Amino acid sequence: MKKTLILLGMVVALVILPFFINHGGEYGGSDGEAESQIQAIAPHYEPWFQPLYEPASGEIESLLFTLQGSLGAAVIFYILGYTKGRQRRDDRA
């Protein structure tokens, strides 16, 4: 019971603390940071290739990124569940 309460407190802290930390921060990803660093180091650098598809807005880009992550997680957990089910079936036989 004590372990459960500690874990629950940690989860609540992880959910609530971001609302109080770094309010002036800028939302950005590693791609934008990498691009700015490359421009600082080598201003005349040209990318080797262009993206196949560029979303119309940041919201669509976030949606596609989330869908990609969700699909990847679904595949991973399906495989884990499938192998666990096979192990249980083999143990019963």
pLDDT of residue 68: 96
pLDDT of residue 30: 79
- Start-to-end CA distance of the chain, whole Å, equals 37
Q: pLDDT in tens for each of the 93 residues of the chain?
A: 899 999 999 999 999 998 888 777 777 777 778 888 999 999 999 888 888 988 898 889 889 999 999 999 999 999 999 999 999 888 887
List b or e across 12-25, with b for residues whose CB sees 16 or more CB atoms inside 10 angstroms: eeeeeeeeeeeeee
Residue 18 DSSP label? G
pLDDT of residue 66: 95
Contacts of 61 (CB under 8 A, 6+ apart): 55
| Model confidence, pTM | 0.53
H helix count then E strand count, the chain: 3, 0
